[in-house]
Structures are given as structure tokens and as C-alpha cells.
Amino acid sequence: MTINEIQDEIIDEFSLFGDWMERYEYIIDLGKNLPLIDEQYKTDDYLVRGCQSRVWLHARLDEQGKVQYTADSDAVITKGIIALLIRVLSGHAPREILDAELYFIDRIGLKEHLSPTRSNGLVSMLKQMKMYALAFQKQLEKI
Amino acid sequence: MTAPAIRPSPFDVARVRADFPILQRQMNGQPLVFLDSAASSQKPVQVLEAMDRYYRQHHANVHRGVYQLSQEATDMFEEARRAVARFIHAPSEEEVIFVRGTTEAINLVASSFGRSFLKEGDEVLITWMEHHSNIVPWQLICEQTGARLRVVPISDEGVLDMEAFAKMIEGPVKIVAVTHVSNTLGTVNPIRQIVDMAHERGIPVLADGAQAVPHMPIDVQALDVDFYAFSGHKMYGPTGIGVLYGKRQWLEKMPPYHGGGEMIARVTFEKTTWNELPFKFEAGTPDIAGTVGLHAAIDYIESVGREAIAAHEGELLRYGMELLAPIPGMRLIGTAPKKAGVISFVVDGAHPYDLGTLLDKMGIAVRTGHHCTEPLMDRFGVPGTVRASLGIYNTPEELEYLAKAVEKAAHMLR
Ligand SMILES: Cc1ncc(COP(=O)(O)O)c(C=O)c1O
């Protein structure tokens, strides 16, 4: 599936929820079930600092030239949103990630979590995800 | 959870609430429950109207014009200063300096006092429960002068360790800076006792009154503090205006903080002489409308009654803590016997950010995070807390709703 197909799929899923409680219960579940980042990457080197919650992010380029992200957070709602971002962006080529426009966040009513003033680490994390993609893209161009 | 038997005594909170238009708003489809007054309080119509009237009918720059409008604006500005002096029982209005807020007031003292009185080897004494505003300005001046910052510890309840203070004050301390009420713990510190111990050694004391002024009567002469700082926007007044009270004996010895218009007596390129107090510390055009709003806020607080406000909020605080305490996993941060205005807590298994997010969805405005007191968070070993802070307009019903909402949110998160 392309990045946009995944985004549309998530928008569809969220349209089934009646109210904010159901939406957040789902996000909290996602947060609880997100495969944890490898302990060795849960260090300050991989820490994306937010004022309110902390986020750790790691990325690698697999054999097929796709970026694989893993991440973690100490706040479960933040973690649930991370799970969504990873579902959308992970497993794609660096170029696709760089060109991606993330419209699903807005459409599922979570825009407030990606506001810079929220300082939960998500905005910085998203930037960091793109930075990784950029670095991998450069690496691929050299080969 | 069963509701405790004690209910706060009646207070005409409905009438007070009617004065605050913003309280009519809905948040996420729920009536707004505003529990973040410690960050900034809401404003009554009396303040809004006073500022509007000022701009519509009386505005001109102050202390400059011979014409009537300028005279009117100057009168309103200086009346506001007199009102502040009365409000905190300052001996004279020359000792009341208008600033942008608590932060600027503390920076003014740290910089101006520090440049004249601090040198290498000296010490500045603060406490573990200070707001960053009462830490960083001192760090800056310590870096410039070579003085050292020393920090008085606190107990697990959030009470200042006065034994440690007594020992530390015997060092080469040149100034003590301490918060009157902690914005994170709510602890009310024994300012007068601190002042007496410092004064025995001729050491001046600055009290950060940002969280005290909204909640209790303040008498700077009874406290005998040398400096007292507070912000208008936390006491139902506008943002951008605050007060530094300083004893004349110190203010006269201190050099100006900022240079510019208003603060000078005579300027030549060779030498400029300073204006007298308080103008020496008020460079540039002040926030005139802000002072008018602050004056209206003072009138408002006095019309409700400061003792009545303290009693109402005291009851709310006790009631709120009683309601929250039995929630499973609840840990109240800050349980000093003398508290005002603030209930901080964490719940096991629920990150403060997550709790705050879910409370917001239920229409409750609370602050989450470190509240600009990171050393304090480290002291209690938490990444942050949820803080519900009280204002004149809060009700027992709102606290009941808060407790239910916290329980529901914690349940969702576990
Ligand atoms: C205890 C304390 N000191 C200082 C400040 C800073 O006040 P202001 O931002 O109005 O300058 C605050 C405000 O949060 C406070 O609570």
C-alpha cells in the first residue's frame, strides 16, 4: 500500500468511532501494543526531547531499501499517535517518506497533538523521521 | 469513592462567576472547568471595561504632556500606583515599581542588586521550590559576578527545611530569594521568619509573591521583606503588568536596570543623572492601560473581600484534596500543612500528559508538566504533575467533576 492508501485506511477506521472516548480508547490501545523500541536505542542519543512527554526514535534502512522505524514514549497517548505515524511511514522508500504529506492527523481529529506548542515531542519526532529519510536517501544516491 | 461529609461553606460564587464572561464558554462540548488560574487567571468585566474606557476616553502618554489628556492618563497611572501601595501596604508609592511581571521584577533585582553588591565568593540563597523565574536570573548574575547559588532543601511534604536554612544563612550570603507560595506544591513559606533570620545578619530578602497575592492579604511591612514581586495577570488583571515593591534604602543604592526615557533626570553625552524613585526603574513608555486594568483588578478583589476569598479558596483546596486522595494510585505532590491555591498530583500508571489530554476532552483546563520547576520534579522523582489550581470563581461542584474525571481518565489509561 502507498502512504496515502494507508492514511485513507486510518481515516476510514476512525470514522467508525462515535465520540472522543472511543477515539482515545483506541489510541491508548495502540500505544499499549506498540512494539517497544529495542532497549539499546532507548538512550539519550535517540531521545527526541519534548517538554511534556519524551519520545525515542530509531530508524534503519532494510535490505529492500525501505526505512524501518521503531519508537517509544513515556506517555501512552503520545505512543498511540507514534504507532499511527509508524504505520503510515515505516516500510517505505526514503523518497516516498520525504514527499509524503500527512493529512490523516487532521482528518482524524488529532491535529492538536501535532501542534508545536503542545511540546509533547511529536513535532520534533516527525521532523526527525524525515531527517532519517533524507540521510538514507543521500546514502542510496551515493551507491 | 464516597464523598466526604464536609462541604465548603457557602460563598456567593455564582455572583462572582457572572463577572467572568469566559466562564460561559464550552470546551469540547462541555462547560469549561477552569483550573489553571495559577498559570493565569481569567478577567472580570470590571477589568475589561476599565481598560476599554481608558483607551476610548483617556489615553495619552504619561508624565509628558501639558495638555489635559496626558494629565488624565498620568493621573490614572499614578492612582494605580497608589492603589497597589495600599493593596500591599507599602509605606510609600515611590517604592512601587511597575514592571512587566514577576519575571521582570526578579531580573531587575538580580541584575541591579547583583551588579552593585555581589562579588566572587558571595552567595545567593534560594530554595528547592523556586519557579525558574526565581532561579535563572540569579544564575545569570552569579555567572557574571562569580557569586555562588545555594539551594535550601525541602521535605517530602514540600516544607522548607528551616534548620538547613538556619545553617546556610551563616555563609557569605548577600541576598535571599524565596517564593511566598510555591506554584507547584502550594506550600506557603514562613516569609517573616526567613526575613527575621536574614535581617539579623543584615541580609535582604526578596519574596516571589506571584502565587500569594491572588490568594491572601499581603502586607509587605508586616512581612518586612526588602523586595516583593508579583504579576497582574495571576490576580484577575491584564497580562503585561506586574509590580516590584522594594524598600527605599535598597532601591536608592541600586543602579537603573534599563536605560531610556522617563528614567533620567538630565542627559548629556558625558553623563546622565537618574530620575528619582520609582521612575529610575521605569524606562520607556509604561503599560499604562495595564496599570489601569491592575487597579480595576485590585478594586475587584477588595470588593469581594480578601479574607472571604482566602476562606473560600481554603475550603475548596481542602475539599479538592479530600476528593482526590482516595482515587486508586493517587499521589498528591505537596502536602504541607500551610498551602494555598494549588493541588498537584500524579496517578500511578498514568502519565501527566495523558491525564491532562483526557481531562481537556472533558472540558477541564489543568496544567501538566514541570510547571517551570524542573529541579522540584527531580526532587520528587516525577516527570511532571497534573496541577489543578484555584481561583475566586471555582466551585465545589467543579472539584467533584474533576475527581470523577481523573478517576475515569486513569481508568482509561490503565
Ligand atoms: C511562583 C512564580 N514565580 C514567577 C512566575 C512568573 O510570572 P510571570 O510569568 O508573570 O513573570 C510564576 C508564574 O508562573 C510563578 O508561579
Distance CA B357, CA A49 (A): 19
CB A72 within 8 A of CB A56: yes
Contact B413 A21 (CB under 8 A): no
CB within 8 Å of B219: residues ≥ 6 apart: B88, B89
* Residue B132, C-alpha cell as written in the block: 525558574
- Which residues 6+ apart lie within 8 Å of B261 measured at CB? B283, B284, B285
Right CATH for B50-302 from 3.40.640.10, 3.30.1600.10, 1.20.1050.10, 3.10.450.50: 3.40.640.10
Candidates B322, B370, B335, B328; CA nearest to B349 is B328
Euclidean distance between CA atoms B28 and A41, whole angstroms: 38
- Upstream peptide bond of B21 is cis (omega within 30 degrees of 0): no
- Cβ–Cβ contact A19 with B under 8 A: no
Give the tens place of pLDDT for each residue, A70-89. 999 989 999 999 999 999 99
* Ligand 1-lining residues (CB < 6 angstroms): B 101-103, 131, 133-134, 179, 183, 208, 210-211, 231
Rg (CA), chain A: 15
Per-residue pLDDT reduced to its tens digit, B156-188: 999 999 999 999 999 999 999 999 999 999 999
Chain A residues whose CB is inside 8 A of the B383 CB are: 53-54, 74
Domain boundaries, chain B: 13-42+306-413, 50-302
Dist CA B228 CA B324 (whole Å): 33
The span from the CA of B186 to the CA of B88, in Å, is 20
Please state the rounded mean pLDDT for residues A37-46.
84
| Kind and range of the H or E run holding A131 | helix A122-142
- The separation between CA B298 and the C-alpha centre of its own chain, rounded to angstroms, equals 14
CA dihedral A109, A22, B368, A36 (to 10 degrees): -90
Domain B13-42+306-413: homologous superfamily in CATH: Aspartate Aminotransferase, domain 1 (3.90.1150.10)
Q: Specify the CATH architecture of the domain A3-142.
A: Alpha-Beta Complex (3.90)
In the numeric block, the cell 531580573 is attached to B107
Domain ranges of chain A: 3-142
State which of B372, B374, B389, B390 you would mutate to test the pocket of ligand 1, scoring each by most atoms of that ligand within 8 A of its C-beta.
Answer: B372
The better pLDDT of the pair B378, B168 is held by: B168
Element (H, E) at B320: helix B306-324
CB contact under 8 A, B352 and A52: yes
Q: How far apart are CA B250 and CA B256, in angstroms?
A: 12
Domains B13-42+306-413 and B50-302 share a fold: no
3-class SS shares of chain A: helix, strand, coil, % to 5: 60, 10, 30
Nearest to A28 among B368, B370, B412 (CB): B412
Cα–Cα distance measured from residue B162 to residue A120, given in angstroms and rounded to the nearest whole number: 37
Q: Are the Cβ atoms of B351 and A74 closer than 8 angstroms?
A: yes
From the CA of B38, how far away is ligand 1's center (Å)? 8
Residue A88 to chain B, least CA–CA distance (Å): 23
Closest residue by Cα to atom 13, ligand 1, is B39
- Written as one letter, the residue type at B13 is V
User: How are strands ordered across the β-sheet holding B227-231?
Assistant: B96-99, B242-246, B227-231, B205-208, B173-179, B123-127, B148-152
Q: Answer whether 0.90 is exceeded by the pTM.
A: yes
The answer for residues whose C-beta is within 8 angstroms of residue B32's C-beta and 6 or more apart is B22, B23, B25, B26, B363, B365
Per residue in A83-113, pLDDT tens? Answer: 999 999 999 999 999 999 999 999 998 888 8
Substitution candidate for ligand 1 out of B104, B131, B342 with most atoms within 8 A of CB: B131
Best of A17, A53, A110 to mutate (most B CBs within 10 Å, chain B): A53
**Mind telling me how many Å the CA of A21 is from chain B's nearest CA?**
8
Please determine, for residue B9, whether its predicted confidence score (pLDDT) is greater than 60. Answer: no
CB pairs under 8 A between A and B: 41
Q: Please check whether residue B365 is in contact with residue B32, taking contact to mean a CB–CB distance below 8 angstroms.
A: yes
Band of pLDDT at residue B8, cut at 50, 70 and 90: very low
Cα angle B355, B360, B365; round to 5: 100
Annotated active-site residue in B85, B304, B323, B372: B372
Q: What is the pLDDT of residue A120?
A: 75
Mark yes or no for CB contact B369/A21 under 8 Å.
no
CB-closest option in A24, A52, A74 to B361? A24
Cα atoms in the Cβ-side hemisphere of radius 13 Å centred on B268:
2
pLDDT at position B109: 98
